[in-house]
Amino acid sequence: MRLLVGLGNPGSDYARNRHNIGFMAVDEIVHRHSFAPFRSKFQGVLSEGQLAGQKVLILKPTTYMNESGRSVHAAMAFYKIPLQDIIVFHDEMDLAAAKIRIKTGGGHAGHNGIRSIQSHIGAGFKRVRIGVGHPGAKDKVVGHVLKDFSKADQQWVDKLVDAIGDNAGLVVAGDDSGFMSKISLAINPPRPKQQRTEPVDNSNDKENK
């Protein structure tokens, strides 16, 4: 059994914030793979389904970002899920917009949701870090993550979320590099090769004149 956690803040006011891209990602997994409807549980909402031949739980804490760890710990303890079987999807300012990287453990880099989870269960869980870019100055960080994606951003956000939904089975199966490759190709598909036009040979026409 795997536990997939999407991080964000509950409520319509936050729904399109950069900070909520973790919620967006797991919502698409639930939708794309016909998981059960979310139900209130563990200070969050929980859905169940199958990915890569495994039972998968998807959790969205509704404690607000800074207390995400309470919800994750409750679900982990109830189902006795090992730390290494927990995968957290979250926004990452240290990555350029639309970039995605996977890591296990490591510091929280100032992300309050990750900080809270680490304080409750430790740091050995897997993290799908979804780049939202950095505003450039420390005093602009809060405003950056708590603002909606711009209209210009929306094109890559939609592609990225769709690709996460399509390929979630790879990360559940442990194929992290395959997952990241699929996401990269979805965001930046290769350009179609131009067909070369062969020169026309008119030599026979000249000989027949």
Q: Which of 69, 87, 72, 71 is nearest to 168 (CA)?
A: 87
Main-chain phi, psi angles of 195, to 5 degrees: -75, 135
Judge whether residue 208 has pLDDT over 60: no
**Distance between CA atoms of 200 and 40, rounded to whole angstroms?**
70
Q: Name the β-bridge partners of 130.
A: 91, 100
In terms of DSSP bridges, do strands 44-51 and 54-61 run parallel, antiparallel, or are they unpaired? antiparallel
pLDDT in tens, 57-86: 999 999 999 999 999 999 999 999 999 999
- The residues near 189 (Cβ < 8 Å, ≥ 6 apart) are none
pLDDT in tens, 5-59: 999 999 999 999 999 999 999 999 999 999 999 999 999 999 999 999 999 999 9
pLDDT at residue 195, rounded to an integer:
65
Residue 35 placed within a domain: yes
pTM of the model: 0.90
Q: 150: domain range?
A: 2-190
Q: How many domains does the chain have?
A: 1
Q: Which of 149, 147, 184 is nearest to 164 (CA)?
A: 184
Judge contact between 38 and 46, C-beta under 8 A.
yes
- The residues near 65 (Cβ < 8 Å, ≥ 6 apart) are 7, 8, 9, 19, 112, 113, 116
pLDDT in tens, 151-162: 999 999 999 999
**Distance between CA atoms of 56 and 79, rounded to whole angstroms?**
11
pLDDT at residue 193, rounded to an integer:
74
Residue 116 placed within a domain: yes
Residue 80 placed within a domain: yes
* Residue 52 Cα distances to 85, 130, 166, 172, angstroms: 14, 22, 12, 7
Judge contact between 106 and 127, C-beta under 8 A.
yes
Residue 195 placed within a domain: no
Catalytic residues: 19
Residue 11 placed within a domain: yes
pLDDT at residue 178, rounded to an integer:
97
CATH number at residue 32: 3.40.50.1470
Residue 22 placed within a domain: yes
Residue 202 placed within a domain: no
Judge contact between 41 and 71, C-beta under 8 A.
no
pLDDT in tens, 170-195: 999 999 999 999 999 999 888 777 66
96 residue type, one letter = A
